[in-house]
Structure 1
Amino acid sequence: MPTFQRAVITGACGGLGQALARQLLDSGAQVVLGGLNLPAMQALADLAPERCRIFTPDVSDAQAMQAMAADCLQHWGVPDLVIANAGVAGGFETSDPVDLAVMRRMLEINLLGVATTFQPFLSAMQDSGQRGALVGVASVAGWRGMPGNGAYCASKAGLIAYLQSLRAELRPTRLTVHTISPGYLRTALTAGNTFAMPGLLGPDEAARDLLRGVAQGREHIVLPRRIGWLSQALSLLPARWHDRILLGQPRKPRAHQAGATPIPGLSHPHDKT
């Protein structure tokens, strides 16, 4: 198990976030947990109360994230690992005007939320002169758009480009930037999927591979690797053939449909009459 001394994790309520927190706490690290499910995070904190702090900010709220970072820096010092893991998923239909709110909220959490997570720690991490890692959890869905999933794919594609930019900016420093591209993980975000999920990976295994890859300095980590190979193989097909394959798959549930996962901060326009 790679050793990190002080870690910050957003999205600590979900399957991957919880697995990361457990493994880091087991290794002896101090861990700051950010999420919206207080009982879930408290259960994690109970594993090592003296090495865990809990916060419940909206990751798209820059002021709330800055307050969380200020507390962390004051009480524990500069982290050597910041994992921007918070994310939401859901289907999207461009023809339905109410789904524009879904896209806006997804971009706020999945894309803006990564920048608001990194920003308040960045100067302190650079000034410390110590090695540190900034980790953004993207998705193989950011490699190519999929029918009925435009908002999620756009948010993850934007995140991949943002991480590329940040990585280039930080090359002269001792900070590294890591892009994580999971395929299908066995979490609440995939529980409602009715389509095939090749390479489905459990969160504990994914967390272990993620932390090992970051410790090894790998800038691009696909979980599991074989789903990356499959995606790359499909990308070699003519676009029309690729689209035809994807169009034959069931679509991800849209917000407020059966099987959809909640999107924090999203109103319920589909429930209105």
Structure 2
Amino acid sequence: MNSNTQKTVWLVGASFGLGYDSALKYHNEGWHVIISGRSKDKLYAMQTQYENMSVCVLDLLDQSSVDHAITEVFKYQVDLIILNAGDYELTPSLENNFDTFQKIMNINFLAHVQLINKSVSYLLEQTNKSTICLVGSMASIIGLPNASAYCASKAALTSYAQTLYFDFQNTNIDVKLITPGFVKTRLTDKNTFKMPMMVTSEYAADQIFKATQSNKFETVFPKRFYWMMKYLSWLPMHKSAKQLLRQA
């Protein structure tokens, strides 16, 4: 068990990229970090390298794995849950690849809903105030070319986070939404188009840490890219499409 003064964060999707660097950030700040993901070897290597990390192997699409993780994690008093797990693949709508679309929606959205639903009763029973932090994307602001599944999943996650924020008012659960632009990870490495204002995963991890210590509901970065995307969403669709396709 963690001490009475040390805070515990459960970081889902900690094996690579942003999740990995976020785990290191909280570790360096003195938190007890529970790291979850499917890459068992990667997680245990992290635990061996860094003190005060606990491993909980988790496959979000496996019901028994989720149930086991909930049981193990809530042996601790959890102060913060960061839901960072996600997947990305190009999904050109003309190809009608429903299986890929469904997989992306399940991982990026529905699995998060299930995990939160199963966690809420435990969080409400705790005496401390806890926070659920969902990692979204600026892809939720406007549909992007050939990314129907990813954009739809992140738009759903953003709307869900907003609703949770209202529904958890007057409870001991706070809700936060992180909305990053392009972050340099193995997922964005799949892209062949221009990715303006890309940030490193280390920078993004710092922003997430600051966000979870603030009173704000939503944290966006880089802000200039956020306002550019918002501007495109305010344009008539044919005009925003022309500008987006010009950059593709």
TM-score scaled by length of structure 2 = 0.92
Return the alpha-carbon distance in structure 1 between the equivalents of residues 108 and 30 of structure 2.
29
Which residue of structure 2 lines up, in the alignment, with residue 86 of structure 1?
85
Which residue of structure 1 lines up, in the alignment, with residue 54 of structure 2?
53
Which of these residues, 106, 121, 124, is aligned with residue 122 of structure 2?
A: 124
Return the alpha-carbon distance in structure 2 between the equivalents of residues 177 and 168 of structure 1.
9
CA contact 1:25–1:47 (8 Å) conserved in 2: no
Return the alpha-carbon distance in structure 2 between the equivalents of residues 96 and 157 of structure 1.
21
Which residue of structure 2 lines up, in the alignment, with residue 223 of structure 1?
221
CA contact 1:60–1:116 (8 Å) conserved in 2: no
Give the deviation of 1:4 after TM superposition: 6.8
Return the alpha-carbon distance in structure 2 between the equivalents of residues 240 and 96 of structure 1.
22
Which residue of structure 1 lines up, in the alignment, with residue 171 of structure 2?
173
Mapped pair 1:63 → 2:61: no
Which of these residues, 141, 161, 166, is aligned with residue 139 of structure 2?
A: 141
Return the alpha-carbon distance in structure 1 between the equivalents of residues 190 and 91 of structure 2.
15
Mapped pair 1:233 → 2:213: no
Q: Deviations over 1:125-161 (max 9, x none)?
A: 1121311110111111011111211011000111111
CA contact 1:21–1:31 (8 Å) conserved in 2: yes
SS state at 1:152 partner = helix
Which residue of structure 1 lines up, in the alignment, with residue 24 of structure 2?
22
Unmatched segments (≥5 aa) in structure 1: 251-273
Which of these residues, 182, 189, 193, is aligned with residue 184 of structure 1?
A: 182
Unmatched segments (≥5 aa) in structure 2: none
SS state at 1:181 partner = strand
Mapped pair 1:155 → 2:153: yes
CA contact 1:61–1:116 (8 Å) conserved in 2: no
Note closer, same or farther for the CA distance 1:72–1:236 as it changes in structure 2 (3 Å cut): closer
SS state at 2:188 partner = coil
**How many residue pairs were aligned?**
244
**Alignment-mate amino acid for residue 186 of structure 2:** A
Note closer, same or farther for the CA distance 1:230–1:4 as it changes in structure 2 (3 Å cut): farther
CA contact 1:235–1:242 (8 Å) conserved in 2: yes
TM-score scaled by length of structure 1 = 0.84
Mapped pair 1:101 → 2:103: no
Q: What is the aligned-residue identity percentage?
A: 27
Q: Deviations over 1:26-54 (max 9, x none)?
A: 122111111122232223212334x2222
Q: Deviations over 1:210-267 (max 9, x none)?
A: 11112112111112222211112222332111011222344xxxxxxxxxxxxxxxxx
Q: Once superposed, which parts of structure 1, at least 4 consecutive aligned residues long, lie more than 3 Å away?
A: none
CA contact 1:60–1:112 (8 Å) conserved in 2: no
Return the alpha-carbon distance in structure 1 between the equivalents of residues 6 and 159 of structure 2.
26
CA contact 1:31–1:53 (8 Å) conserved in 2: yes
SS state at 1:187 partner = coil
Return the alpha-carbon distance in structure 2 between the equivalents of residues 33 and 117 of structure 1.
15
